[in-house]
């Protein structure tokens, strides 16, 4: 699987070429624990989320 490449305030980043509605969710239990997922595309942790279909 190809590794995901993210850009953050990078002047050399390519111009955007599509529109993708996304959603993220923050889940915290009564003890204050935060639910995180392990991403396999970049080996990082993140809050759960993903793309949604238009319509």
Is residue 29, in this structure, part of any structural domain at all?
Answer: yes
| pLDDT, position 1 | 60
Q: Which domain holds residue 47?
A: 22-55
In a domain, residue 37? The reply is yes
Report yes or no on 6 lying in a domain.
no
Domain assignment present for residue 51? The answer is yes
The pLDDT of residue 10: 85
Q: Record the pTM.
A: 0.54
pLDDT at position 52:
84
In tens, the pLDDT along 7-42 reads 778 888 888 787 788 899 999 999 999 999 999 888
Instruction: Supply the pLDDT for residue 53.
Output: 81
Looking at residue 2, what is its pLDDT? 66
For residue 27, being part of any structural domain is answered with yes
Q: Which residues contact 49 (CB under 8 A, 6 or more apart)?
A: 22, 23, 24, 25
CA-based nearest residue to 50, from 14, 15, 10, 39:
39
């Amino acid at each position: 699987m190809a590794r995901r490449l993210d850009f953050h305030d990078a002047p050399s980043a390519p111009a955007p070429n599509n529109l993708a509605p996304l959603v993220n969710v923050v889940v915290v239990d009564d003890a204050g624990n935060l639910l995180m997922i392990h991403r396999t595309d970049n080996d990082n942790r993140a809050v759960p989320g993903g793309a949604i279909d238009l319509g």
